[in-house]
Amino acid sequence: MLDSRALTKVQSTVLIVTVLLAATVGGGAYTLWKAAQPAPEAIRIGVCADIDNHVGGGIWQAATLAAEQINAQGGVLGRNLTIVAEDDDDESGGGLEVLSRAMTRLISVDNATYVISGAIGATPIFTHQDICAELKTIMFGVKGANLEFTQRVLDDYDRYKYYFHVWERNSTVFAATFLENILTVRNYTGFNKVALLFVDGTATKQMMAYLNSTLSASGFEIVYSKLYSARVTDFTSYFAAVEESGAEIFAPLIMGGCVPFVKEWYDRQSPLILCGSFGDAEDPGFWELTEGKCEGVCFMGIPMIAGYPWTSKTLPMWDAYFERWGSLPVESNVVAAYDCVRFILPDAIRRAGTTETEAVIKALESTNVETSMARHFVFTTSHDILFSTLAPQEHDEDHVMICMFQWQANATQAIVGPEHLMQEIGNSYQYPSWEGPWSKQSLTETD
């Protein structure tokens, strides 16, 4: 009999072969089992916008690019991102029924866990907010300046906590931007007489009221203040009235009729400094659309449109978008959609450690992450965007920053505000090429 405490060489060899064979077969079986397991379900992010429109389409492209980049890095919590979309036909006038159906379908049929809304205007955005509140779905808004959008979060948190505002300045911040840019122009020119012309709307009325008050308190003389219909495309009478008022700085908010407005200013060689908000002025193609007549016009925008490396993420996003889609992400809404999918939402999910809605909401509320537009993107208590201080004397630029640009020779979009940033880059503010109050100022300085 063999001693049970000892093995012969033969027995040892047999045992070793058996163990190795079992390990090999077992390992192969495990590999086959693992390969047979389904991949973790993708995190579905919905885009509800007018996809056929260049802005809505840009929002979808930006979200898609961001998801591709995230997936190439291993996804979020081991799960890929999938972008699904529904066309709400908003900018084409599809109506509330189409807009509502698109958002509802995105959540209920396309199974989007999070949605980006590109809706425009108070009623469409309120509608999207209500649908997402009812279906308990986190919604990121990339359009809309009405203060009531985020006020809803404060007034009825339990219902509207699902809404987060990731782009468009609310009416107060928008108006504050106007004020700071007008202050900057006065600092350059010494001009003090201001004319305001805003497209009629709920948010613009809020801005107009704010500016009428704050400009006066800042020592400006408001010589003209008027709202106009969005249907207007001939601004001849408005320029005549503003020139008659003795204004030196014309600060308009124009939507839809930007090209005829700027051409009217140039063709009549209006003796006015033009500094305001022009819906199309951020687009590099605006130079060609106006036949170069936008030279001298000052407008507002994010630093990215001038190719300025505002954060470490700015230019990589700019380059990647162009490489992927063959166009530039000049609309701020588009950049915001990218930042939402690429940085803001993944950061919140990772910190939450789950995609569970309540946990992600809490994580979003404590967001502090670098994006293409902000060195530190932070939400306020109302789920609105925290912007940097806009005063040209202050250098608080950690958060989302709005600069003043001026169209200059050779189709250049030059940053001319804040002043310290203009000087850092090596730009300079320029007057229009024709005679105006600035001509008398130049003669006085020469004398």
Q: Cβ(252)–Cβ(196) under 8 Å?
A: yes
- Residue-wise pLDDT tens digits, 95-137: 899 999 999 999 999 999 999 999 988 899 999 999 999 999 9
- Comparing 43-143+310-365 with 172-302+393-446, is the CATH topology the same? yes
Q: Which helix (H) or strand (E) holds 196?
A: strand 193-199
Torsion sign across C-alpha atoms 193, 198, 204, 205: positive
β-pairing, 221-228 vs 249-254, is: unpaired
The predicted-structure confidence for 82-104, as pLDDT tens digits, reads as follows: 999 999 986 666 689 999 999 99
Flag whether pLDDT at 226 surpasses 90.
yes
Domain 43-143+310-365, CATH: 3.40.50.2300
pLDDT-based confidence at residue 37 (cuts at 50, 70, 90): low
Whether residue 22 has pLDDT greater than 90: no
- Rounded CA-CA distance 195/265 in Å is 14
Pairing of β 114-117 and β 273-278: unpaired
Q: How far apart are CA 336 and CA 344, in angstroms?
A: 10
**Domain edges within the chain:** 43-143+310-365, 172-302+393-446
Using one digit for the tens of pLDDT, what is the confidence trace for 318-377? Answer: 999 999 999 989 889 999 999 999 999 999 999 999 999 999 999 999 999 999 999 999
Q: What is the pLDDT of residue 374?
A: 94
Does the pLDDT of residue 81 top 70, yes or no? yes
Class of domain 172-302+393-446: alpha beta
